[in-house]
Structure 1
Amino acid sequence: MTTKDKVKKEIDRLSEHDVQKVYLYLDTLKKQQKDNRNIRALHLKGKLDQVNLRSAAYE
């Protein structure tokens, strides 16, 4: 039996109120995964556009 099957079996045993809590938890997990994929942008106003970042990092 896979973990997914075990989770489904346990969810079937829960009350409706607890199932709603599980759903909200899964929804927050999905949102966290989506947020982790976003790359934060730095607003440097083009200051490093003409700079070799690799050599500047080792100076």
Structure 2
Amino acid sequence: MNKESIINILACPVCKGKVHFNSKNDGVICDKCELYYEIKEEIFILLPESGKPLEPDFL
């Protein structure tokens, strides 16, 4: 499965809302929680404790 097809089934681990790719395509963002989750070596790191608050340049 490629990243583009899997994004449709992923959800934020905190609020269960939809996530979308950030502009660099190296992570996903939940707009509702304003959290960023990394993608490392093509693995989505979607653990509640791994979410990072969005910095102003992400918004």
Q: Fold-level match, TM-score > 0.5? A: no
Q: TM-score per shorter chain, which class?
A: under 0.3
TM-score, normalised with respect to structure 1: 0.25
Higher RCO (CA-CA < 8 Å; seq separation 6+)? 2
